[in-house]
Amino acid sequence: MPTIAVLGGGITGLSAAYYLKHLQPHKGAVILFEASSRLGGWINSEILRDGTRLEIGPRTLRATGAAGANSLAMAHHLGLENKIIPVRYGHPTTRNRMIQVGGELHTLPSSLKTAFQTTPPFSKPLVLSLLHDLRAAKVSNSDESLYSFVNRRFGSEVADYIIDPLTRGVFAGNARELSVKSLGKVLHEYEQTHGGVVKGALMNLFTIKKKDPLLKNELVRKARTEKWAVWSMTSGIGTLVDSLTNRLILDGVEIRKNSKVDTIKSDRGKMIIKCGSEISIVDHIISCLSSKDMSSIVGLNFQLKSFLEKIPFVTVGVVNLVYEGNSIVKQAAFGYLVPSSEPSNVLGVIFDTCAFPQENKTVLTVMMGGYWFNSLFGYNPSKDVLLNAAILEVHNTLHIKTEPCSAKVSILQDCIPQYVVGHTEAVENARQLLIKDNVPMKLAGNSYDGVGVNDSIMSARNAVMCLQL
């Protein structure tokens, strides 16, 4: 029976081990190597002594799309349906996303009606920007930056006030450097195939789509019927990690924590893994490490290593602020984002308890730095600097004058990979290189296939599906 090693105990690694046992299902041994003493990677839910829930990393999973359905099916299989808290379309957090311009908060247009109105900071209705796309000529290219694509097709206001802040709010990144092909794949495809984004979207409306087999899953159907937009769990999304871990233990997966892989070598169709003084010989590796961690492993092919080293990462300062009472924030919204043109060290603020209320408490999360972290805060800022900046931000913008009753500051070093122009081709080349050299190893995770939790779970599933056992 073949032995498979999964590298990394974040959500991708745990999901890969889960799929090996439930999708294939793999009768041989599965060993999961995790360098640290905890599992879950960036997912980190914390319950304070008074019962307040905080999310330090990702906080919600999208319920929509194929990847959303896939995670819901996994949650269903893990028996988590009673612990899920959904947020449905129409809830203020799905409609109200704000941006801060000149210190003032403005709600981004989110309906057909608002698209026809002129709302500040825009100087014209959004619908005119859609007309701009219909008139703009097609430019054939293999990739370009998100900012230049949107600026070209929709005009500078959409690029500056929508794309720039949204890129900060998902990737903590710079829209002028990130790739439209990797992040706005559909937008790029619409232009290349149909000559424009609006034309492509209209054509897509009339295309008959294949029914997704995942729609048969009970929880997926419930989510579709009840129009779930995103979901979390009663004790935070860390429950997904705990539940997956328990399932893997029951399935007989050997979980080796505190096991940092030092060397990987491919030898006559086998993979040799060196971890401290221990050597394991396995038939296949699914690497779910970040490309950065993977590139520091000794023994990799030079070309693969140099590709992995080229994916940049950004650091995000996360400050969770807890206040007594639940009427601290006046606006019912998801939160707000700050465009890069504003003189601010803050990327955005999430109104956590607006989506998921907690008894007599308001929880806000202030996100800082990202692409700009080192230039704003230096290489090793004290946590007090970040805390003071966060308190000042909510004081100035949300007019919160009271002190938080608790606060947690975390610096998530190199947490979000940046898909710069050319990323898609580079990932494809790296995967082809492994195939060409007959290296029995797959690459999965947020360095390659999307930065969301759903994307990571889907990436693990695809890696397992590609294995020929």
Ligand X SMILES: C=Cc1c2[nH]c(c1C)Cc1[nH]c(c(CCC(=O)O)c1C)Cc1[nH]c(c(C)c1CCC(=O)O)Cc1[nH]c(c(C)c1C=C)C2
Residues near ligand X, by CB under 6 A: 62, 97, 166, 168-170, 172, 230, 316, 334-337, 347-350, 367, 451-454
**CB closer to ligand X out of 99 and 253:** 99
**CB closer to ligand X out of 268 and 330:** 330
Q: How far is the CB of 228 from ligand X (least distance, A)?
A: 12
**CB closer to ligand X out of 62 and 91:** 62
Q: Give the CB-nearest residue to ligand X.
A: 452
**CB closer to ligand X out of 84 and 439:** 84
Q: How far is the CB of 87 from ligand X (least distance, A)?
A: 9
Give Cα 163 to chain centroid, integer Å: 17
**CB closer to ligand X out of 259 and 454:** 454
Q: How far is the CB of 458 from ligand X (least distance, A)?
A: 10
**CB closer to ligand X out of 285 and 411:** 411
Q: How far is the CB of 418 from ligand X (least distance, A)?
A: 11
**CB closer to ligand X out of 15 and 454:** 454
**Pairwise CA distance, residues 463 & 442, whole Å:** 6
**CB closer to ligand X out of 307 and 336:** 336
**CB closer to ligand X out of 150 and 166:** 166
Which residues have a Cβ under 8 Å from the Cβ of 442 and sit 6 or more positions away? 284, 285, 286, 287, 431, 434, 463, 466, 467
Q: How far is the CB of 294 from ligand X (least distance, A)?
A: 20
CB 435 within 8 A of CB 414: no
CA–CA–CA angle 77, 83, 87 (5° rounding): 105
Q: How far is the CB of 401 from ligand X (least distance, A)?
A: 22
Q: How far is the CB of 335 from ligand X (least distance, A)?
A: 3
**CB closer to ligand X out of 231 and 323:** 231
- In SS3 terms, the chain reads as CCCEEEECCEHHHHHHHHHHHHCCCCCCCEEEECCCCCCECCCCEEECCCCCEEECCCCCEECCHHHHHHHHHHHHHCCCHHHEEEEECCCHHHHCEEEEECCEEEECCCCHHHHCCCCCCCCCCHHHHHHHHHHCCCCCCCCCEHHHHHHHHHCHHHHHHHHHHHHHHHHCCCCCCEEHHHHCHHHHHHHHHHCCHHHHHHHHHCCCCCCCHHHHCHHHHHHHHCCEEEEEECCCCHHHHHHHHHHHHHCCCEEECCCCCCEEEEECCEEEEEECCEEEEECEEEECCCHHHHHCCECCCHHHHHHHHHCCEEEEEEEEEEEECCCCCCCCCCEEECCCCCCCCEEEEEEHHHHCCECCEEEEEEEEEECCHHHHHCCCCCHHHHHHHHHHHHHHHHCCCCCCCEEEEEEEEEEEECCECCHHHHHHHHHHHHHHCCCCEEECCCCCCCCCHHHHHHHHHHHHHHCCC
**CB closer to ligand X out of 97 and 153:** 97
Q: How far is the CB of 108 from ligand X (least distance, A)?
A: 8
Q: How far is the CB of 334 from ligand X (least distance, A)?
A: 5
Q: How far is the CB of 61 from ligand X (least distance, A)?
A: 6
Q: How far is the CB of 202 from ligand X (least distance, A)?
A: 22
